[in-house]
Amino acid sequence: MTAEMSVIGVADPAALAALVGGANGLGWLAAAAALFDSGSEVWAATQAGRTRALVRFTPAIGLQPPRHWYHVGCVVHASPELRRRLPLATLQLNNDLTGEAELAGWLTEPGLDPHDCRAAWRALLAAGLQRLAGRLPAGTAAPRLLVELPGPRDDRGASPFWQGLGRHFYAGDPAAAQARFGDAWRSHVAALLPRQLVYCAFLPEAAQQAIGTVHGDAQALAALLHEAGLRWSRHIRIDDGGPVFVAEAPRAGMADPTA
């Protein structure tokens, strides 16, 4: 019988060290410490006193600095005269999801079995949805909860999406920018990316394939998000083309593990 999963807030790195570094005695402390950021909270899913998973909850993203995504759209070129009709996928750089809430930086205890892992993620996701439901004044538009998922990479860690699009505009490495600037990396890199509509047809086949595709390592999380009612918003990450999943509104029937 699996013990019940609880979600607790982690106040600061010291509290995190007490949680993670103590009982678990694990090497994921450094990665977990990097979750702390102004304007965000760090949540832990705990089970029988052990910290199973960590996530960062941000109530409103993209306020400072702005965050960028590509919206995957469609334009239809039709000529009645030539009896031709051509739907074309397009990418448009924008800040559509500014102000939404986000769960990011999903970390799990090394060696955690898949069943417990899923339970921990589910608990963290439910907590996020619950939080939004709690602050929702009657009659207002539901705040949305989003989760970004990584896009495909090759064996050397290169993203076919970046190779096909971004690198023509910025010769540097987005991962290096991320390491240096934290969350602000997106706005720095996006300053160099195309601001006008990009026709996907101009991208190499591999880059087109990567649009909205989830990295193999994140398939399990993607499946869980789908199960919880989150759907691809037709936005993708600017570096690897990974999809952004969004919950339109808190779903009924999700148990609140924090209750």
Partner 1 sequence: MSPDDPQRYRLRPAQPGDLAALERLAAASAIGISSLSTEREQLRDALARSATAFEREDDDVSGEETYLFVLEDRARGHELIGTAGIAASAGFHDRFYCYRNEFIVQASAALNARNRIHTLHLCHDLTGVTLLTGFHIDPAYAHTLAPQLLSRGRLLFIAEHAARFSDRIAAENPGLADDSGRCPFWDAVGRRFFDLDYPAAEAMSGGRSHKAWIAELMPQAPIYVPLLPDEAQVAIGQLHPVGQLPFDILMDEGFDVDNYVNLFDAGPTADGRVGLLRSVQQRRVRQPLTGDAGAAQGRWQIVASRARAGFRALLLPQDGGELRLDAAQAQALGWRPGLSVSATPLAGPHGADAADGDAAPGDAAGGDIGHGVAS
Region binding partner 1 by CB under 8 A among candidate stretches 9-17, 32-40, 76-84, 125-133: 76-84
Q: Which of 23, 113, 199, 231 binds partner 1 (CB under 8 A)?
A: 199
- Tell me which residue of 21, 68, 8 sits closest to 236, measured CA to CA: 68
Alpha carbon separation from 100 to 1, 12, 128, 147 (Å, rounded): 37, 23, 12, 10
**Quick check: 50 binds partner 1 (CB under 8 A)?**
no
Residue 202 is a binding residue for partner 1 (CB under 8 A)? yes
Please report, for residues 30, 35, 129, 215, the alpha-carbon distance to residue 6 in angstroms, rounded to integers and kept in the order given: 23, 19, 15, 28
Distance in angstroms (rounded) separating the CA atoms of residues 137 and 258:
21
Q: Restricting to residues 158-197, which ones interact with partner 1 according to CB under 8 A?
A: 164-165, 168-172, 177, 181, 184, 188-189, 191-197
Q: Decide if residue 227 touches partner 1 (CB under 8 A).
A: no
Stretch that binds partner 1, among 3-11, 74-82, 93-101, 106-114 (CB under 8 A): 74-82
- Give me the residues paired with residue 159 across strands: none
- Stretch binding partner 1 (CB under 8 A), from 23-31, 75-83, 96-104, 225-233: 75-83
Helices (H), 155-204: 160-164, 174-181, 185-190
CA pair distance 161, 187, nearest whole angstrom: 18
Q: How far is the CB of 244 from partner 1 (least distance, A)?
A: 22
Would you tell me which residues interact with partner 1 (CB under 8 A)?
75, 77-79, 81-82, 84, 86, 88, 90, 164-165, 168-172, 177, 181, 184, 188-189, 191-199, 201-203
